[in-house]
Each structure stands twice: as C-alpha cells, then as structure tokens.
Amino acid sequence: MSANVQQAYRLAAERYREMGVDAGAALAKLKTVPISLHCWQGDDVKGFEDFGGELGGGLAATGNYPGAARTPDELRADAAKALSLIPGTHRFNLHAFYGEFKGKKVDRDEILPEHFAGWIDWARSLGLGLDFNPTYFSHPKAADNFTLSHADRGIRDFWIRHGIACRRIAEAMGRAVGKTCITNFWIPDGMKDTPVDRRGPRERLIQALDEILAAPVDQSCTRDSVEGKLFAIGIESYTVGSHEFYQSYSLARRTLFTLDTGHYHPTETITDKISAILSFIPEILLHVSRGVRWDSDHVVTLGDDLGAIAQELVRGDYLGRTHIGLDYFDASINRVAAWVIGVRNMLKALLQAMLEPIDRLREAERSGDYTARLALLEEAKTLPFGAVWDYYCETAGVPVGEAWLSEVQAYERDVLARRG
Ligand code: RNT
Ligand code: ZN
C-alpha cells in the first residue's frame, strides 16, 4: 500500500474524528452498497437481436467514438474491465434485447431464461447481482410509440407476453445468482402532439400491467418496478406512463417505483421526492442520469444534484430500501470510461454523504440554530474526503485517483481500437 495514501488517510480520519465522524465506519458502510451498472452504455443501446432496427422509443445515443461492443462477449469483457476499476461488489443491469440469440430470430414474446445463460454464468463468476428490463422499443411493434397501451389488442397482447417472459427470466436470474433481480418496466408510450384521449391509453396500460403482474413469480427472486417519464424526442406532448401515473400505480399495486433523474422538468430534481415517496412505497429504484437541457443521458458527474440525492439516501437511512442503478449512454467518449466515471462518482457522492458531520448538523437543526447548520454544511464541503476515497480504492485493490484512466487507455489500444 502506498505510504502517501495511508498517511493522507490517517490525517483525514483524524480531521473527521474532530468533526465527530468515523471515517472507517463510513467505508465499511459504503462497501455494502451495490450500484447496478447498465449494460446499454457499452453499445449505445443497440442490443443483440439480429432483426433489431434503429434505436426507438424517443431515445437517442449521440456520438461515434470507436470501439462499441458488438457482441455479448465484447460487452462482457468491457463491463468486466470497468468493474475491475471500481471499488466494491456491484450489479449488472440487462435489457431484454441483450439476450444471446445466436443468429436466430427470437421475437420479444419468445425470449427465455436460456437466452441469458451466458450472462448468468458471467455474473456468477464475478459475484454480480443481475437486474433486468423488458425492452419496449426498437421493435416494429413499437414503431408508433405505443406498446402496452396500444389501441390494438393484438399488439398489446404481444407486449404483455413480453413482460411476462421478462419476469420469468428475471426470476431465473435472481434464483441463479442468489440475489433478487429487479425488473424495471419502462415503456415509451405517448404522443408527439396533444391527444384528445389521455384516459384510454392509461386505462389500457393499467390493464396490461395488471395482466403482466398477475403471472406468478417468486418474489424472493424478482421484484417489479415501474418507471415514469415526462417526455421523449417525438413524444413531447403526452406520456402515458407519467410520474403521477406510476407513482399511483406502484402504490395501488405494491410494486417498486423508479425515479430517473432525467425524467422531470429541467430544473426539477428528485431530491425531495425520495422521502415523500418512501413514506408510502417500501422500495424505490433509481436511474441516476444527467440531463443537460433535456433528458440527454449524459455521464453522471459529481455535482450538487448527485450529492443531494446521496445525502437524502444516507441522512434518511434509505439505502436499504433503494436500488441504485445508472442510466445514461454517451457514445462520444470511451464507453468503458463512461461506466467507470459514473459509478465512481455515485460511490464518491455516497461516501461524501456518509462523511457528513450529521450529528452536529442534526443538533443544529433541532435546536433551531440554522446559522450553525449552514456554516457546518459549507465547511463539510472542504473536509479531506478525497483522502478517504483514495484509501478506499487502494484497500479495495483498484486504481487510486486517475490511475484507472491509463488502464482504460491501454484497453482501448489493445482491444477497443481493433474492433472494426
Ligand atoms: C428511458 C428510460 C429507460 C431507458 C433504458 C434504456 O427514458 O430512462 O430507463 O433509458 O431502459
Ligand atoms: Zn431510466
């Protein structure tokens, strides 16, 4: 272990002790928090269906950085590289169209656990939990941006069968890896221009979801979550599965509820929603993303928005009830780096929150001393958090500071650059 890292940590821990904070306890806690790494950053949300068309559902991955994964083996290798540069034990989040179909046309309503056997073996070999997402976009039957709420019964039924197939796969995944797999439902359904019937699609969506959830699965292996959204490109005026729709649905049907940080008005953050929702819904799923001007899904950076989310989770003692996943796709930079930067930032934000002088802050607030609360919050920002983070990386056996970048650069040279 580097003497500098160790010495800096010793001094930092001392400084934190003066503030009433136990740095060692924070690190022990951080170690227990898994982040779900989203498969779709590795290939710009393309998936592995051989009949897959363009990225649909109003999603857009922009940029043409070379080296995107083209096969499941490449995606696994890239993700494993990223995970080797991130401290802790994490999870991997798959979309249904990332199955291994071996050149066969297996339609979305025909997918089976066997198409994910390669992923399950890989996850087991790395000790990863798995999460899952039905894919309701990039498909001819989703071309008009209606799926589960489609007016056509046949199309609706097709997507209902897809949802059921996905829950069975998630169940198999959860059972095989021994960690509950969260199945996240997001559908693109909505309209470019103002509809005259907002009610019909919502009623159909409720019915379709109810039919999907009626299929029995072992809840210890998989749990369901529903993700609301404000709008997408080409779906600007009406989203059937809005925030209010799914918040109500999850409360009524006892599913989890997914908050994606990019799915609100540009100045609206999810910080205040966490404690409000967790007052009534037992567990939430986060899609941590970064919208720049719109739901642009930029790589997550360590800023105020991320910090505030982490603080809410830590201060409210919500980590045990929150599944943290990332959701962005930047095709303009090295995709392995995009993963590493985002997960390391999520962990840094959590660590920073765990290192807050929370007892003193609470005491200041309780006694009405808001001057001290503000002063302490601001002083806490310059406490030597970086030394604690470096020490955590070093003890976890991953690169300290920017040292991970040269590993990604070497991987780009030796592996990514050789892809056609
Ligand atoms: C779309 C949702 C959804 C997707 C992924 C690919 O706006 O955020 O979660 O990003 O399922
Ligand atoms: Zn999302």
Would the pTM count as exceeding 0.85? yes
> Rounded CA gap, 31 and 168, in Å?
30
* Ligand showing the shortest atom-to-Cα distance for residue 59: 1
The per-residue pLDDT for 1 is 79
Task: Give me the helices (H) in 316-402, please.
Answer: 335-354, 358-366, 370-380, 385-396
Mean pLDDT, the chain, integer: 97
238 found inside a domain = yes
**pLDDT tens, residue by residue, 392-407:** 999 999 999 999 999 9
Mutate to test the pocket of ligand 1, among 38, 43, 95, 227 (most ligand atoms within 8 A of CB): 227
Distance 400 CA to ligand 1 centre (A): 31
| Residue 420 confidence class, pLDDT cut points 50, 70, 90 | confident
The per-residue pLDDT for 387 is 98
Q: Which atom of ligand 1 is nearest to the CA of 289?
A: 8
In 7-144 the beta strands, taken as DSSP E runs, fall at 35-38, 91-95, 129-133
**pLDDT tens, residue by residue, 158-179:** 999 999 999 999 999 999 999 9
Distance 186 CA to ligand 1 centre (A): 7
pLDDT over threshold 90, residue 51: no
The residue whose CA is least distant from atom 10 of ligand 1 is 327
Q: Using a pLDDT cut of 70, give the percent of the chain over it.
A: 100
Task: Name residues contacting ligand 1 (CB within 6 A).
Answer: 40, 45, 59, 133, 186, 227, 229, 260, 287, 327
Q: Which atom of ligand 1 is nearest to the CA of 262?
A: 8
pLDDT over threshold 70, residue 315: yes
**pLDDT tens, residue by residue, 206-244:** 999 999 999 999 999 999 999 999 999 999 999 999 999
The residue whose CA is least distant from atom 5 of ligand 1 is 327
364 found inside a domain = no
- Number of separate domains in the chain: 1
Q: Say if CB 235 and CB 192 are below 8 A apart.
A: yes
405 found inside a domain = no
- Tell me the residue type at 369: D
| Residue 286 confidence class, pLDDT cut points 50, 70, 90 | very high
Q: Region 353-358: what's the mean pLDDT? A: 98
333 found inside a domain = yes
Which domain does 47 fall in, by range? 34-356
Q: Which atom of ligand 1 is nearest to the CA of 260?
A: 8
The per-residue pLDDT for 157 is 98
Please classify residue 211 by burial: count the beta carbons closer than 10 Å to its beta carbon, then call 0-12 exposed, 13-18 middle and 19+ buried.
Answer: middle
pLDDT over threshold 70, residue 72: yes
| Residue 41, strand partner residues | none
CATH number of the domain at 279, please.
3.20.20.150
366 found inside a domain = no
251 found inside a domain = yes
**pLDDT tens, residue by residue, 177-202:** 999 999 999 999 999 999 999 999 99
The per-residue pLDDT for 407 is 98
* Ligand showing the shortest atom-to-Cα distance for residue 41: 1
CA distances from residue 372 to 312, 315, 368 in whole angstroms, order as listed:
20, 18, 9
Closest listed residue to residue 394, CA positions, set 18, 21, 27: 27
Q: How many CB atoms lie within 10 A of CB 19?
A: 16
3-state secondary structure of 184: strand
In 229-319 the beta strands, taken as DSSP E runs, fall at 238-239, 256-260, 284-288
Tokens matching residue 355: 């290192």
Distance 38 CA to ligand 1 centre (A): 10
178 found inside a domain = yes
pLDDT over threshold 90, residue 52: no
Active site residues: 186, 227, 229, 260, 263, 287, 295, 297, 327
The per-residue pLDDT for 50 is 78
Distance 327 CA to ligand 2 centre (A): 5
**pLDDT tens, residue by residue, 326-350:** 999 999 999 999 999 999 999 999 9
Q: Region 266-276: what's the mean pLDDT? A: 97
246 found inside a domain = yes
Tokens matching residue 329: 């796709």
Distance 290 CA to ligand 1 centre (A): 12
